[in-house]
Structure 1
Amino acid sequence: MIGSSLEAVIFAFNEQLPIFYSKSAKPFRFDYLSPDLDLSYLKFEDSKTSLKTIDGERTVGLAKTSLWERLVFIMSLNGQMPLSNLCTSIRFDGENFIFSDEYAKLIDVEFNKCYYFGDDACVDFFSDVDTSNFVCYDWIAFNRGGKHEIDYIKTNDDFVSEIWFYSSDRIDGKTEVKDACAVSYLLKEQVTDFNYSETMARFKLVHEMESRGMKGKFNGYGPNGRPKHYRFRTSCISRRVERSPQKDQVQAEKVENPKISEKDLLEVLPVCSEKYAKILKYL
């Protein structure tokens, strides 16, 4: 099986298939599962988390990254990840898959049937893909005004559509200072347009916060007796742009695009996890 998205990993786990990929497609840091999903059979304890929003609290379940990492760990112990992260390119010659790193071929794999969930380094066996839609992650530091209780803001725009606040990774230890990640859904031409750049993302993030009544650090009182606050001060940490998740349409014999959703895969996960009882009992 080729692919490393959460869907791909769950599918390989359920079917006990070997999994190959060139780059791990770990879920976004702030993607969560349903809070009603019980994952105790994978040795996860109560995984519900309450996020504070402008409109009240929002309850989410386990972070998808945690599930992805747990399943990958179990499959590694079970021998289902023969190349781990050593591969950088995947080629199909009509009969076999050829896996290579930057310097040389690693292995030829002969197979009867392959399930393909997508991999940017695959060549020669799928049709042209749609590269018109992208997801953009702007990681933004708060140099002033980062202390507040809000965890999440949802806007009504594709540009800075979601804002996730998190305890800053720039400061050692558990800190009350929060940085932010702004998620945008952009077209190909917008990715290189300054109006949708990381600078404009910073400005829009601050605008969305202020329009919802959020204020910076208290700065005393003005002559009219009203409280004053410093403006938010931000800076860019990094930007990551990715093609919107989609399954490439394969044009090759013996290679199949599974037509199954994440929801369907999660429904059979409890039963399929029984196959890994010898490993799970030690977690």
Structure 2
Amino acid sequence: MELSLIEGDVAFDVADKIVESMKEDLVGRKIKRRGDMELFTTNALKKAITEIIDNGSYDLLADIEASKQKGEPYKIMFVGINGTGKTTTIAKLARYLEKNGYSSVFGASDTFRAGAIEQLEHHANNLNMKIIKHERNSDPAAVAYDAVEHARATHKDVVLIDTSGRMQTNVNLMDEMKKIKRVSQPDIVIYVGDALMGNDATEQATKFNEVIDIDGIILTKADADAKGGAALSIGHVIHKPILFIGTGQSYDDLMEFKPEWMINQIFDEKAEA
């Protein structure tokens, strides 16, 4: 079982915890019929996985509403490395918020990567959202500050701040991210990870969490991750909740994360609506 979990991109510590939990449930238990063995084992595994996945919850909409009642925009800062679908995820979350009655403004604080501002601007145009941007290579923290001030002036409910998909080993760029956080004072920092990256996504989340203190996780490409290892490991290792999962390419393909969905994926059961 432990080897199977590790081969499925589950972090070693997490695989070890799952196996230990199963041992507690199964070792010494009397089974009357041979056919019950599979059922008991499966139920023990489901229980162990449910405990691993459950890292608390974060009621994003309730927090946004609380900020709105105070007359303050709710500020979300997105972090993660290039190629994980971070910019598209920001656009998906903007659509999700719009469907729930909240307006958003984009802050294009990824001023380093070629095409990053244009990519966010493309999404803003598609969704008819306002984007605050500066020239390429300008100060990312200044962009975030201006986005927050624009939201205050125009009574936008939420500020969605994109940041450079910097590698977690680059000290200078990580310091720049700390500056963005210090200047924009985000209400929540969301790490966007690629479910298909398996243990790499978990290691990256750990580094980002050490530097900037992540509050929640969005996993992209979760629909294509047959192994489920990243979803099992990432939240547990940094003890932060998975808020949403990306399930496709369209703006509506963002789903609130529920542990039952992950269990259904792992055990190939029909997901509940």
Provide TM-score, normalisation by structure 2.
Answer: 0.26
Answer 1 or 2: which has greater helix percent: 2
Answer 1 or 2: which has greater strand percent: 1
Provide TM-score, normalisation by structure 1.
Answer: 0.26
